[in-house]
C-alpha cells in the first residue's frame, strides 16, 4: 500500500511565522479591517433607513451619514496601506522560501544528499512545483482564508442580536431554525468539500507522477535521456523522431486524461457547493421575511440581517473552498519542507590546523553505497607516506573514486577506519580536514560565474595567481583570446556574453582550481579523460612539479600517470589486487601488466 503523505499545515504556518513574524499580524489586522469595512456601510445604511422610516428625533441622519462616510474613507486608507505591506511581505517570504532548498543543500552532508531518499525528494520537489504558484500561493491563500474567516465571524456577530431579540418567542423559533439551517449548511458543505478535494488531490498527484515520468515533453539541456543539445544529433542521425513522437503522444494522452478528471472534479465541487449555498440562502431569506412580516424586526434590521445572512453563505462557501485550496498548496510544498528537515552536516571535531604532513592509512576499510547490497570497497588496507606520489589504477567500477570520497570524508566507511598519523580522521573537524585537499573529481563541475571566481572558488581572487595556475593547467593560450579575461562568465545561460568551453578546456579550468587552492594533499581523479595525449602529458608534467613536497594521489584507468608515481595500487572488484612500483608490477606479469600492455602503444615515444 502506498504511504499516505501528511499535509503539514501546522508546520507551514510555523514557517510563515518564523520567516516574518509581522506578516501573520498584518494579515489578521487586514482581515479584520476588511470585514469591518464590508459591514460598516450596511450598518450605516440600515441605521439611516430606520431613522428615515421611524422618524427618530434624537439623531440627525445627515450627521450620521457624514461621520460614517468619513470613518469608512479613513479605514479604507489604512486598509490600502496594510494590503500593500501584506503583498510586499508575501512576495519577500516567497522569495526567501525559494532560497531555502539551495541554502539547505549546502549544509547537508554529501552522503545524505547522494542518498536515494534525498534524490527522490528532489524529484518530488520539481514535480510538485509543476502545480500552483509555490509558497507565494500558500501565503496568498492564507491571506484570503483569513479574510473569509473574518467575514464569516462578522456575519455571526451581526446575527447574534437577532437571536437575543427574538429568544423565547415564536419569532425566536424561526431565528433558531435560521441559525440551525446555517450550521447544517456549514457541516454539509464541509463534508462535501472534503470529499471532492480528496478526489482532486488524488487526481493532481496522478498528474504530477505522469509529468514526472514524461521523458520527452521538455527541452532539457543537461538531463540524460531527454531531448536536448546532447541528444539531438543522435536523434537526427538515427532518424528516431517518429519513435519519440509516438512516446510523446502516449505520455500526453495520460496527462490529458488526468486534466479532464481534475476538471470534472472541480465542476462537481463547484456545483455541489453552489447547491448547498443556494438552499441556505432561500431558507434564510424566508426566515428573515417571516420575522419582518410579523413586525419583529425593523426595515433597517431586514437589510442588516439579510446582508449578514448573504455574506455568511458566501463566507462559508469561500472559507471551505479556500481551506481546501490552502491544504492543496501546502501539500505541494510538503516535499520541500521534508527536504528542509534533513539533518545538517556534523563538522565539529579536533583542530587540524597545526598538522601539515602525515601518514595516511586505510585499515581494513569496507564500504557500500546507501541502498545497495554490493561492497564497493572490500577490506582495503593501504598506507601512503608523507610527500609520496601514488597512483590508484584499475578497471571502471573497481572502487577508485570511492576510495577518494572516503579519504575526503564525503562518505564514512561502513567498516574499518582511515587514519592520519594513527588517529581516526573522523575525530578531526570536517571543514579543517577537507581544507588540506586540492582535488579534481572525475565528474567535476563549473559554476555560471566568472572564470576567476571558478578558479578561486571564491568571490574575491588574486588575478595574477589565477592567470598563473591557468597557464600551468594548459589554459593560457585560450585565456589570452578571451576579451574579458578572468571576468569572462562561464556558460551563456545567465549572461548574454557568457562563454561555453569545450570539455577539455573545462577540465583544464578544474585542474587550475585545484592548483590555486594549493592543498597539502593533491588528488587527480581521472583528470585528463577529456584531454588529448599531448595535453594529458603536459598536465601531469606540470602537476608533478607543482606537488613537489606534497602528497599526491592519481586516480585513473589510463596509466599515463604511473610514470610520475612512487608506488601504484591496483584495485580489482573493490580489493587491492597488487601494489608496488611500475617496474615491480610489470615483472609480476599480473593485472597491472595486462592493463599496461593493453595501453602500451599510447605511451611509446
- In angstroms, the CA 184 to CA 592 distance is 83
DSSP run (H or E) holding 262: helix 241-293
Instruction: Please tell me the predicted confidence (pLDDT) of residue 217.
Output: 47
First-to-final CA distance of the chain: 65
Q: Which spans in 419-472 are helix H?
A: 430-435, 451-456, 463-472
How does pLDDT run across 559-597, given as a tens digit for each residue? 766 777 889 999 998 999 999 988 899 899 888 888 888
Cα R_g (the chain), whole angstroms: 35
pLDDT at position 130 over 70: no
The more confidently predicted of residues 230 and 499 is: 499
Sign of CA dihedral 25, 28, 30, 33: negative
- In angstroms, the CA 469 to CA 513 distance is 8
CATH homologous superfamily of 358-436+557-605:
P-loop containing nucleotide triphosphate hydrolases (3.40.50.300)
When pLDDT is averaged across residues 62-84 and rounded to a whole number, the result is 88
What are the cell numbers at 213?
515520468
Cell 489586522, residue located:
29
Instruction: Please tell me the predicted confidence (pLDDT) of residue 465.
Output: 93
DSSP summary character for residue 590: S
Question: Residue 371 — left, alpha, or beta (φ > 0 → left; ψ -120 to 50 → alpha)?
Answer: left
When pLDDT is averaged across residues 125-153 and rounded to a whole number, the result is 80
What are the cell numbers at 20?
516574518
Domain ranges of the chain: 9-340, 358-436+557-605
The more confidently predicted of residues 215 and 111 is: 111
Whether 450 and 487 have beta carbons less than 8 Å apart is answered as yes
- In angstroms, the CA 331 to CA 338 distance is 11
Whether 210 and 253 have beta carbons less than 8 Å apart is answered as no
What is the CA angle 190-196-197, rounded to 5? 80
DSSP summary character for residue 167: T
When pLDDT is averaged across residues 168-193 and rounded to a whole number, the result is 60
Instruction: Please tell me the predicted confidence (pLDDT) of residue 417.
Output: 95
Percent of residues, the chain, with pLDDT higher than 70: 70
- In angstroms, the CA 322 to CA 189 distance is 13
Best CA proximity match to 403, nearest among 350, 451, 439: 439
Question: Residue 380 in 3-state DSSP?
Answer: strand
- In angstroms, the CA 140 to CA 146 distance is 10
pLDDT at position 526 over 80: no
The more confidently predicted of residues 87 and 539 is: 87
Give the count of beta carbons closer than 10 Å to the beta carbon of residue 359.
14
pLDDT at position 324 over 80: no
Instruction: Please tell me the predicted confidence (pLDDT) of residue 219.
Output: 44
Please provide the average confidence, as pLDDT, over all residues in the chain. 78
* Residue 256: pLDDT band with limits 50, 70, 90: low
What is the CA angle 427-432-434, rounded to 5? 95
- In angstroms, the CA 95 to CA 15 distance is 13
What are the cell numbers at 179?
441559525
Sign of CA dihedral 450, 451, 454, 455: negative
Please give the C-alpha separations between residue 366 and each of 239, 375, 565, in angstroms, as whole numbers.
46, 7, 25
Contacts of residue 433, defined as CB under 8 A and 6 or more positions apart, other chains included, come to 349, 352, 409, 425
Whether 336 and 190 have beta carbons less than 8 Å apart is answered as no
Whether 419 and 425 have beta carbons less than 8 Å apart is answered as yes
- Among the residue ranges 259-273, 447-461, 507-521, 553-567, the one predicted with the least confidence is 259-273
pTM beyond 0.85: no
Dihedral angle over CA of 405, 345, 114, 96, nearest 10:
-140
Given the candidates 1.10.287.1080, 3.40.50.2300, 1.20.1560.10, 3.40.50.620, the CATH classification of the domain at 9-340 is: 1.20.1560.10
pLDDT at position 11 over 80: yes
Strand order, beta sheet including 360-367: 377-384, 360-367, 415-420, 423-424
Instruction: Please tell me the predicted confidence (pLDDT) of residue 205.
Output: 65
- In angstroms, the CA 457 to CA 461 distance is 8
Give 112: exposed, middle or buried? Use CB within 10 Å, 0-12, 13-18, 19+.
Answer: middle
Best CA proximity match to 385, nearest among 582, 579, 545: 579
Whether 360 and 403 have beta carbons less than 8 Å apart is answered as no
Best CA proximity match to 503, nearest among 429, 437, 434, 444: 444
pLDDT at position 2 over 50: no
Instruction: Please tell me the predicted confidence (pLDDT) of residue 371.
Output: 78
- Write the DSSP string, 199-261: HHHHHHHHHHHHHHH-SSSSB-SS-TTSBSHHHHHHHHHTT-HHHHHHHHHHHHHHHHHHHHH
Amino acid at each position: 500500500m502506498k504511504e499516505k503523505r501528511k499535509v503539514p499545515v501546522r508546520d507551514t504556518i510555523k514557517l510563515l511565522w518564523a520567516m516574518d513574524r509581522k506578516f501573520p499580524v498584518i494579515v489578521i489586522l487586514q482581515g479584520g479591517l476588511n470585514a469591518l469595512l464590508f459591514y460598516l456601510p450596511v450598518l450605516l445604511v440600515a441605521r439611516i433607513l430606520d431613522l428615515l422610516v421611524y422618524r427618530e428625533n434624537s439623531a440627525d441622519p445627515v450627521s450620521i451619514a457624514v461621520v460614517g462616510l468619513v470613518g469608512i474613507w479613513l479605514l479604507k486608507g489604512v486598509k490600502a496601506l496594510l494590503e500593500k505591506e501584506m503583498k510586499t511581505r508575501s512576495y519577500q517570504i516567497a522569495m526567501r522560501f525559494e532560497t531555502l532548498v539551495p541554502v539547505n543543500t549546502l549544509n547537508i552532508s554529501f552522503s545524505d544528499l547522494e542518498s536515494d531518499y534525498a534524490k527522490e525528494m528532489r524529484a518530488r520537489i520539481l514535480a510538485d512545483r509543476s502545480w500552483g504558484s509555490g509558497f507565494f500561493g500558500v501565503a496568498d491563500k492564507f491571506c484570503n482564508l483569513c479574510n473569509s474567516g473574518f467575514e464569516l465571524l462578522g456575519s455571526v456577530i451581526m446575527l447574534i442580536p437577532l437571536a437575543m431579540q427574538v429568544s423565547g418567542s415564536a419569532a425566536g423559533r424561526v431565528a433558531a431554525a435560521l441559525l440551525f439551517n446555517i450550521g447544517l449548511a456549514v457541516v454539509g458543505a464541509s463534508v462535501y468539500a472534503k470529499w471532492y478535494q480528496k478526489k482532486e488531490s488524488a487526481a493532481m498527484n496522478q498528474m504530477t507522477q505522469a509529468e514526472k515520468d514524461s521523458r520527452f515533453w521538455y527541452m532539457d539541456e543537461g538531463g540524460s535521456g531527454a531531448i536536448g543539445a546532447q541528444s539531438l544529433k543522435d536523434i537526427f542521425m538515427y532518424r528516431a523522431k517518429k519513435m519519440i513522437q509516438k512516446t510523446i503522444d502516449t505520455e500526453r494522452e495520460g496527462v490529458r486524461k488526468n486534466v479532464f478528471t481534475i476538471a470534472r472534479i472541480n465542476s462537481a465541487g463547484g456545483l455541489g457547493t453552489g447547491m448547498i449555498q443556494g438552499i441556505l440562502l432561500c431558507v434564510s431569506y424566508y426566515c428573515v421575511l417571516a420575522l419582518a412580516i410579523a413586525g419583529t424586526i425593523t426595515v433597517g434590521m431586514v437589510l442588516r440581517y439579510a446582508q449578514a445572512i448573504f455574506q455568511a453563505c458566501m463566507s462559508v462557501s469561500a472559507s471551505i473552498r479556500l481551506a481546501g485550496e490552502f491544504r492543496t498548496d501546502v501539500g505541494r510544498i510538503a516535499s520541500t519542507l521534508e527536504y528542509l528537515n534533513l539533518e545538517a552536516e556534523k563538522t565539529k571535531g579536533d583542530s587540524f590546523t597545526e598538522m601539515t604532513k602525515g601518514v595516511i592509512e586505510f585499515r581494513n576499510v569496507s564500504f557500500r553505497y546507501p541502498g545497495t547490497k554490493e561492497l564497493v570497497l572490500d577490506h582495503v588496507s593501504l598506507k601512503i607516506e608523507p610527500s609520496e606520489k601514488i597512483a590508484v589504477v584499475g578497471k571502471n567500477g573497481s572502487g577508485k573514486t570511492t576510495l577518494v570520497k572516503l579519504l575526503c570524508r564525503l562518505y564514512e566507511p561502513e567498516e574499518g577506519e582511515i587514519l592520519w598519523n594513527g588517529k581516526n580522521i573522523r575525530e578531526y573537524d570536517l571543514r579543517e580536514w577537507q581544507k588540506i585537499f586540492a582535488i579534481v573529481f572525475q565528474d567535476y563541475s563549473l559554476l555560471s560565474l566568472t572564470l576567476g571566481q571558478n578558479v578561486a572558488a571564491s568571490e574575491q581572487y588574486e588575478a595574477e595567481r589565477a592567470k598563473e595556475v591557468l597557464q600551468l593547467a594548459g589554459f593560457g593560450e585560450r585565456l589570452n583570446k578571451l576579451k574579458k579575461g578572468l571576468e569572462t562568465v562561464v556558460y551563456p545561460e545567465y549572461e548574454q556574453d557568457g562563454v561555453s568551453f569545450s570539455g577539455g578546456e573545462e577540465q583544464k579550468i578544474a585542474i587550475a582550481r585545484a592548483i590555486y587552492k594549493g592543498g597539502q594533499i593533491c588528488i587527480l581523479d581521472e583528470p585528463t579523460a577529456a584531454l588529448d595525449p599531448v595535453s594529458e602529458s603536459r598536465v601531469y608534467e606540470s602537476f608533478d612539479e607543482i606537488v613537489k613536497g606534497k602528497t599526491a594521489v592519481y586516480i585513473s584507468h589510463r596509466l599515463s600517470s604511473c610514470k610520475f608515481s612512487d608506488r601504484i595500487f591496483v584495485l580489482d572488484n573493490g580489493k587491492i589486487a597488487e601494489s608496488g612500483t611500475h617496474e615491480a608490477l610489470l615483472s609480476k606479469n599480473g593485472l597491472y601488466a595486462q592493463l599496461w600492455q593493453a595501453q602500451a602503444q599510447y605511451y611509446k615515444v
